[in-house]
A = this chain, B = another copy of it.
Amino acid sequence: MQQDPNKKTVLDPFGTSIIADYERLYKEFGIEPFKPFLSKVPNPSLYMRRGVVFGHRDFKRILNAMKKHEEFAVLSGIKPSGEFHLGTLMTAKEIIYFQQRGAQTFYCIADIESYEDNKVPFEKSEKIAVDNVADLLALGLDPKHAYIYRQSKESHVKDLAIVFGRAATLATMKAIYGERNIGLYLAALIQAGDILLPQLEEFGGPKPTVIPVGVDQDPHIRFTRDLAQIFYKKYGFILPSSTYHKLMKGLDGSPKMSKRLMNYFTLHDKPEVIAQRISNAFTGGRATIKEQRELGGVPEICPVYEVCMFHFVEDDEEIIKVYNDCKTGKLLCGEHKKQTIDIVTKFIKEHQRKKKQFIDKAKEILNVE
């Protein structure tokens, strides 16, 4: 539903990146709204506080484990087909959040998926993976208390895929993934193996596990939960829990970040390039300065605001002020872009400096020369 941009009352500073059809996700697919949990989570993450994490499955199990200091695990990962961008950054931060709250931590480099889905040869994804892991460490993941692995080198996930294959009907696979080559279906089974890996005896047996992902990944989660149920007798799996974050818009205002449109930046880009991209970004501004002073901007549709709200303005008061100043016409787009470029490039420079120091460690973790 289009908000009325003329309404100057503060609506919802965290209401950007609206998924058209939340109600449908909740009703048809059984994703539960996250909001009712918020007050119960001790030290909720920025994403939780701001409604970026908006849905979940069986999160109560994780909350209980956190509260009672019982064993639980977090797993997510990256498809090593390119540099860390703001999407993969979200997952990384979510994992780090749960790691810092005591989760047994798993980070999967989905190199089989990048091979089957994107035709990235393993020799190439190996190099990308080193880079991705260095990013992850620079962001603060503690490698001493995490299992970081490549699918292609992890025999347990491959063996789980073989076990699960017997229960994966062609109809299910086609419904989720469309008509694809067998390799892609195999990659999906291996991903189910990833999600259930923390529950194998070799990793301490069945336990609550949370999988933080973008909401577009829910079909994988549902598929894996079905498999967990089918193979309960053999493994004693607890159905994996999940949290869902919203997907970011492109800097051009289009609904998705896209390699083809080059409407985003990565943590690897030069600060000048990032500054340029933000400068050129679409905003929620008005046609003229006069109009904007009078009517205020529309942060709800503004990707620059979103970049700040999702990632770079950590203080809630501060982001609410940005929102209000935009809505009341006090803060114009040019100025806000300048502020944003300052914050982002400062972060990027610092991140790139740290990351360099983690390359060797990343190679060691992945056992790469």
A179-B183 CB under 8 A given contacts A115-B162, A152-B159, A162-B115: no
Digitize A137-176: 1 where CB-to-B-CB distance is under 8 Å, 0 elsewhere. 0000000000000001001001101111111111001000
The one of B165, B180, B187 that contacts A170, using a Cβ cutoff of 8 Å: B180
**In the complex, chain B residues whose CB is within 8 Å of the CB of A305:** none
Interface size class of A (residues with CB under 8 A): 20 to 34
A interface: dominant SS: helix
Contacting B at CB under 8 A, from A161-211, are 161-170, 173, 179-187, 189
Digitize A115-146: 1 where CB-to-B-CB distance is under 8 Å, 0 elsewhere. 11001000000000000000000000000000
Digitize A275-302: 1 where CB-to-B-CB distance is under 8 Å, 0 elsewhere. 0000000000000000000000000000
B169 touches A181 (CB 8 A): yes
Residue of B nearest to A163 (CB): B115
Query: Could you tell me the distance in whole angstroms from the C-beta of A358 to the nearest C-beta in chain B?
Result: 29
**In the complex, chain B residues whose CB is within 8 Å of the CB of A159:** 152, 158
A46 interface residue per 8 A CB criterion: no
The one of B162, B163, B181, B186 that contacts A167, using a Cβ cutoff of 8 Å: B181
Q: State A165–B165 Cα separation when bound (angstroms).
A: 14
Query: Could you tell me the distance in whole angstroms from the C-beta of A179 to the nearest C-beta in chain B?
Result: 6
A112 interface residue per 8 A CB criterion: yes
Q: State A43–B179 Cα separation when bound (angstroms).
A: 50
A173 touches B182 (CB 8 A): yes
Query: Could you tell me the distance in whole angstroms from the C-beta of A185 to the nearest C-beta in chain B?
Result: 5
Residue of B nearest to A180 (CB): B170
**In the complex, chain B residues whose CB is within 8 Å of the CB of A112:** 162
Residue of B nearest to A182 (CB): B168
A165-B183 CB under 8 A given contacts A152-B159, A155-B155: yes
**Residue of A173, A179, A181 with most partner-chain B CB within 10 A:** A181
**In the complex, chain B residues whose CB is within 8 Å of the CB of A179:** 170
